[in-house]
Amino acid sequence: MSTTAIPPLRPFAIRFGADNATLEPQGPTLTRRMSDLEGLFADRHAWEQAVASGDPVVYTVVSSPVPEVARELPQSITTIQPGHTGGEFWMTKGHQHPDPQGEIYLGLAGRGGLLLFDGDRTEWLEITPGVIGYIPPGWAHRSVNVGDEPYRFLAVYPGSAGHDYGWVLTHGMGLRARRNGTGVDLVPFGAPGATSAHPHGPTASSH
């Protein structure tokens, strides 16, 4: 099975490859290149240079065949490559759920962060292998690779939730994750060179 299944589904087992980002049977696979992330990095000139210099793959999403429809629970494995553009760590586009629903992310490999924004408050969760990040309904979310190797996580979410990427382009994410030596600075969203203003912002190399 290599495409999205059609309900009603019969029970079936999914073989989970945490080390090589595989789900078997496998559904659709999504690849996001730098050119797909227009408007997300604070330094547009650095983004344009990255696109012109090979347009690298920033992240991929491998899904199971479980469809994104009501009452189903699709799963996916996202792998974000290491890197930074204009000092800002590579990340997913980020989205809000039009149908507010909860979601969980399970860290599989590498060092990452989960940035959450409800339009007013911003939260940052460290995600490493074995850590589950819980995303409550109503919080936009973005994943960030803050390490030097691919960051990988498993997502499980309600099929009816939907994905609104435009919400993030309009409202932002409250904070940005920027490289600080071997650590992370969380800076105000509209100030690409500002210092961290978040009370829980990690700056130590242990993050």
Q: What is the DSSP string of 96-120?
A: B-SS---EEEEEEES-EEEEEE-SS
Of 22, 95, 25, residue with least CA distance to 60: 22
| Tokens (6 digits) for 173 | 């994410």
Q: What angle do CA 98, 104, 109 make, to 5 degrees?
A: 125
Q: What is the pTM of this model?
A: 0.91
- pLDDT of residue 204 exceeding 60, the answer is no
> Per residue in 54-109, pLDDT tens?
999 999 999 999 999 999 999 999 999 999 999 999 999 999 999 999 999 999 99
pLDDT, mean of residues 12-16: 96
CA distance 17 to 9: 22
DSSP annotation of 178: E
Model pLDDT, residue 181: 86
Model pLDDT, residue 190: 82
Model pLDDT, residue 100: 97
* Beta-carbon-side half-sphere exposure of residue 137 (alpha carbons within 13 Å): 7
CATH level 3 topology of 15-188: Jelly Rolls (2.60.120)
The structure tokens 């940005």 sit at 176
pLDDT band at 193; cut points 50, 70, 90 = very low
Q: What angle do CA 200, 203, 47 make, to 5 degrees?
A: 100
pLDDT band at 138; cut points 50, 70, 90 = very high
pLDDT band at 2; cut points 50, 70, 90 = low
The pair phi, psi for residue 166, each rounded to 5°, is -65, -30
Model pLDDT, residue 19: 87
Helix (H, G, I), strand (E, B) or coil at 188: strand
